[in-house]
Amino acid sequence: MSGIDLGIIGTGWCGGIRTAAAADHPLVCALHIAEVRPERVAEVAAATRARSATADQQALLSRDEFAAVMISATPETTHYPMACEALRAGKHVFFEKPIAMTLDEADELIALARSSGRKFTIGYSQRFNPKYAHVRQAIAAGTIGRPVSALISRHITRGLGKKISGRVKLSQAAMESTHDLDFLLWRLASPRRSRSASIRK
């Protein structure tokens, strides 16, 4: 399997973690980053040995060395226009939640990704949380029976809550419970897939 070059837009808290993980990944050959804060772009570019670094997302998207881009910027009002621009530039897009500010924008992005034949996904990081993966596996294996309802409780620190609510007016469901909704849908996707796989056998 050959490696890929990767573009990353926004290297703040989450984007910084994504950039460091990508830099360490054996299938990532080179990183190209865009970040509007000069001190942060210099810091992340040096730490991850990025091949190119810019403050200009359009300059990044015009490069043809890479086919995929991660977008991890704030405020959340930037998500929809950035994803549109990246998909229109012909890139595959790995995107942070929330996908957009409105359902119409989200639908438009999904349609754009489909019509341009590009991969488009949200970074639902909780899927890589061992607790979530374990529960999913236990449900799929039938060891904890068939779930009939789900009660979700989510706690974030006061500091993080203040940071998020200070920059965007979206519901808790859109900003945080989106992870839980994804878990429930992910959980449901598994048995269906394994049933059809066993039918095919």
Ligand X SMILES: NC(=O)c1ccc[n+]([C@@H]2O[C@H](COP(=O)([O-])OP(=O)(O)OC[C@H]3O[C@@H](n4cnc5c(N)ncnc54)[C@H](O)[C@@H]3O)[C@@H](O)[C@H]2O)c1
Q: Which residues are catalytic?
A: 97
Give just the sign of the alpha carbon dihedral 158, 130, 124, 145.
negative
User: CB atoms < 10 A from the CB of 6, how many?
Assistant: 28
Shortest distance in whole angstroms from residue 35 CB to ligand X? 5
Q: Which residue has the tokens 């990025």?
A: 50
Give me the least distance between CB of 105 and ligand X, in Å please. Answer: 14
Judged by beta carbon, residue 11 or residue 48, the one nearer ligand X is 11
CB nearer to ligand X: pick between 53 and 113: 53
d(CA 40, CA 92): 25
Contact 86, 61 (CB under 8 A): yes
Closest residue by Cα to residue 5 from 32, 37, 42: 32
Of 165 and 194, CB closest to ligand X = 165
Residues near ligand X (CB under 6 A) are 9-15, 34-37, 40, 57, 72-74, 76, 78, 96-97, 123, 125
Q: From the CB of 152, what's the least distance to ligand X, in Å?
A: 16
